[in-house]
Structure 1
Amino acid sequence: MKLAQRAGFRCSNPQCGALTIGPGAGPEGVSDTGTAAHIFAAAAGGPRGTGGLSDEERSTISNGIWMCANCGRLVDVNAGKLYSASLLRSWKDLHENRTRLEQGGHVQPFGWVQSLEVASHYLFMPGIIRLSKLNLLFGMNGSGKTRLFHLLTCMSSPQLLMDAAVLKYPADLTCEITWFDPALRRATVDVRGEALAYHVDARRVPLPPRPYRVWSFGTRNQTFAMDSPTIGGIADFLDIDPWAARTVVHSLPDLLPGVISGVTVSDKGSVDVAYVRGWRAADRRYIFPFYVLAAFAELQARSEPTILVLDEPFTFMDPVMELEVLDLFELSHWTFQVILATFSPHACDRRHQGWSATVLMPADGRKSRISQEDGDVEAINRAPEGESWEEIIRKLGPNNRGL
């Protein structure tokens, strides 16, 4: 019953959202058409497997998602292969947060990107990435991670895509992006030479729509460390107005109540943060920027659907701090999507926490193959200790598919 109540008695499938409770037969009858579906299977051999969870963990409410009867059956067809655990967990988190905001009187634009399909591209073999709320992206330098981000941003800001395609490569590519708003929408992007064309729901449109916003942060243009944070420094880091930066800073205690108890800003713009738990100064300088990023993305997501892209943010961080960052983004109340491109192999261990993983594999010539196959992802986990990330991916190339 609690699972249904948390979902507002509506199906958590963003393509459905059907009300699952209503009047039944007679003056006092109630009709209940909902079902509590498992994210990871209740028993070994079930849809989506057990995810390494214990019997007790698989029986808790955190491993359940409320759905209508039809969708509950649909997600378990073919052993659940079309609906991953990370996808269902994302549906649940997004639906519960949307319900929480609606209950508080806040109508939020619902949206989320479901997939990016590459039909033709100068750096990729044809393939598809199915996006969840939390996404990991693995690939060697030069494998095309940044180009994938350009494809995601081409709906609202095509300049990066076109600059690379026209100036550096033969400009000939096609991709398709699907998203919910809350209905399922589909856009095709075609580049031929210096011509860029968009089709949305099979209809040609003269200018690109902006169904979602992508905010990208990477070590190439950002330093993920703040020794003595200031409003000006945070504004520069986020590339926003200083007054918007103040809003982000003052939101931190409300958005992270178990982490930050208070924030004060001096007349000169210095930011003093009171943490719930003690942090060494060396640790605070690395973890605080991620608190700022999460708060910024959440506030942005309450205005428009938002994807936060982090391109290799762990370059100067130790493994303990990496895990803190992963814990941060796994908090269930966030309503934005995350794509984390990382060189950290142990991040794959977090897939049972809701992260889905994509690997860019060496393929023919200079092209990469987009893979979400379990065998490719698991191979990263099984890599011998001390083996470099590049060696792991190279072994997963076309001539050697395992370790």
Structure 2
Amino acid sequence: MKLAQRAGFRCSNPQCGALTIGPGAGPEGVSDTGTAAHIFAAAAGGPRGTGGLSDKERSAISNGIWMCASCGRLVDANAGKFYSESLLRSWKDLHENRVRLEQGGHVQPFGWVQSLEVMSHYLFTPGVIQLSKLNLLFGMNGSGKTRLFHLLRCLTSPQLLMDAVSVKYPADLSCAITWFDPALRRATVDVCGEVLEYQADDRRVPLPPRPYRVWSFGTQSFAMESPTVSGVADFLGVDPWAARTVIHSLPGLLPDVISDVSLNSEGSVSITYCRGWRAAEQSRIFPFYVLAAFAELQARAEPTILVLDEPFNFLHPAMEMEILDLFESSQWEFQVILATFSPHAYDRRHHGWSATVLVSEGGRKSRISQEDDDVEAINRPPKGESLEEIIKGMRASSKEL
């Protein structure tokens, strides 16, 4: 009953929202057409698996989402493979914020990007990426990952898009982005020569709407020896005082991994870890804790997407697993897009991550695919070659366009 009450007795599917309670037969009858669907399955073998949760955790309200009967059946069809745990949690958070807004209560600035549709582009055939809270992006060097990120940022950083179009690849392009804030919104971006035009909710606007913030971290080293306030500020690209706020927030946001931080008068940072990372390991994993804390603080002010481009280079597999576990925590309000060739990330596709593959179509074009066959194909090495050998070949191939 509490799950239904928190949802205002409406379906949590953002594209449905049907009322699930109303008058029934007779003067006192009540008709209830809602259902408490499980996010992770109640038992082994159910839709989306059990996610490693205990029996008590699977029966808790945190593992439930209120839906109408039709949507409840829909998300569990085909073993739930089209509706990930990450997507359902995003729906639940979004819907509860919408209910708070209608009720007049305090509303967190929760929102999330639902899709990026490429309608015309010099590197991609037309296609759509459906985004959830956790997203994996697989693609060989030269497949266009960086240009895809530029499209995602075209509402907040149009200069990145125009620099590539007008200088290196003169061409027209068109894309559309849909997001929730918490209402469903849509913006289209059209480039014709050196002219950039926007439409927001089918209305032409002179300047782009800024519905979310994208923070992208890629080619720089994900290592930070002897961290300092100025080093964290440079790494994040923020003011030193903002860096201090992020550093001081670490024990509160990550109590299971960091028990204390302190800053001396010169700005050096001392960290007390809850586990025994060696010095070399600390220097490589600390930046990821900083990124998670920074993105979370940003998400509490505005919808935020954290983009990590090939962050696992030179990391030990145990540290990769630690970082994947870090982002899989249900507490975070930001979205993650992780572009990687890591075989360990491939293996986490059923832990709430949505997977997208950029498939070479010959010539310069790539096809955007979220089909299981395409995702599996990139994880299926030819006979006689290991996955590690294939990944090394991908990394050594042509540079990113």
Contact 2:110/2:333, CA 8 A, preserved across alignment: no
C-alpha displacement at 1:263, in angstroms?
A: 1.2
Contact 2:343/2:388, CA 8 A, preserved across alignment: no
CA–CA separation in structure 1 for the residues paired with 2:167 and 2:89: 41
- Once the two structures are overlaid, the 10-residue window that deviates more, 369-378 or 12-21, is 12-21
CA–CA separation in structure 2 for the residues paired with 1:337 and 1:166: 30
1:275-326 residue CA offsets vs partner (Å, 9 max, x unmatched): 1222111111111100100010000011110000001111121211111110
Aligned match of 1:337 in 335, 338, 342? 335
Q: Equivalent residue for 2:377? A: 379
C-alpha displacement at 1:364, in angstroms?
A: 3.0
Q: Equivalent residue for 2:261? A: 263
Q: 1:344 to 1:373 in 2, by over 3 A?
A: same
Aligned match of 1:389 in 388, 391, 394? 391
Q: Equivalent residue for 1:189? A: 189
Q: Give % identity.
A: 78
Q: 1:65 to 1:351 in 2, by over 3 A?
A: farther
CA–CA separation in structure 1 for the residues paired with 2:106 and 2:280: 38
Q: Secondary structure at the match of 1:331?
A: coil
Q: Equivalent residue for 1:301? A: 299
Q: Equivalent residue for 2:399? A: none
C-alpha displacement at 1:376, in angstroms?
A: 1.5
Q: 1:36 to 1:392 in 2, by over 3 A?
A: farther
Q: Equivalent residue for 1:161? A: 161
Q: Equivalent residue for 1:204? A: 204
How many residue pairs get matched? 390
Q: Secondary structure at the match of 2:110?
A: coil
C-alpha displacement at 1:385, in angstroms?
A: 4.0
Q: 1:246 to 1:317 in 2, by over 3 A?
A: same
Contact 1:127/1:370, CA 8 A, preserved across alignment: yes
CA–CA separation in structure 1 for the residues paired with 2:25 and 2:84: 37
Q: Secondary structure at the match of 1:387?
A: helix
- Once the two structures are overlaid, the 10-residue window that deviates more, 298-307 or 19-28, is 19-28
Q: 1:52 to 1:83 in 2, by over 3 A?
A: closer
- Once the two structures are overlaid, the 10-residue window that deviates more, 1-10 or 349-358, is 1-10
1:207-245 residue CA offsets vs partner (Å, 9 max, x unmatched): 1010000000012xx221111111000000000000011
- Once the two structures are overlaid, the 10-residue window that deviates more, 316-325 or 335-344, is 316-325
- Once the two structures are overlaid, the 10-residue window that deviates more, 236-245 or 258-267, is 258-267
Q: Equivalent residue for 1:396? A: none
Letter in 2 for 1:262: D
C-alpha displacement at 1:140, in angstroms?
A: 1.1
1:116-137 residue CA offsets vs partner (Å, 9 max, x unmatched): 0101100001111000100000
CA–CA separation in structure 1 for the residues paired with 2:350 and 2:53: 12
Aligned match of 1:358 in 356, 359, 362? 356
CA–CA separation in structure 2 for the residues paired with 1:60 and 1:307: 30
Letter in 2 for 1:308: L
Contact 2:48/2:84, CA 8 A, preserved across alignment: no
Note the residue ranges of structure 2 that are not aligned, 5 or more in a row. 396-401
Note the residue ranges of structure 1 that are not aligned, 5 or more in a row. 394-403
Map 1:129-168 onto structure 2 (within 5 A). Answer: 129-168=129-168
Q: Equivalent residue for 2:398? A: none
Q: Secondary structure at the match of 1:166?
A: helix
Q: Equivalent residue for 1:109? A: 109
C-alpha displacement at 1:38, in angstroms?
A: 3.5
Letter in 2 for 1:160: L
- Once the two structures are overlaid, the 10-residue window that deviates more, 21-30 or 259-268, is 21-30
Q: Equivalent residue for 1:254? A: 252
Contact 1:86/1:351, CA 8 A, preserved across alignment: no
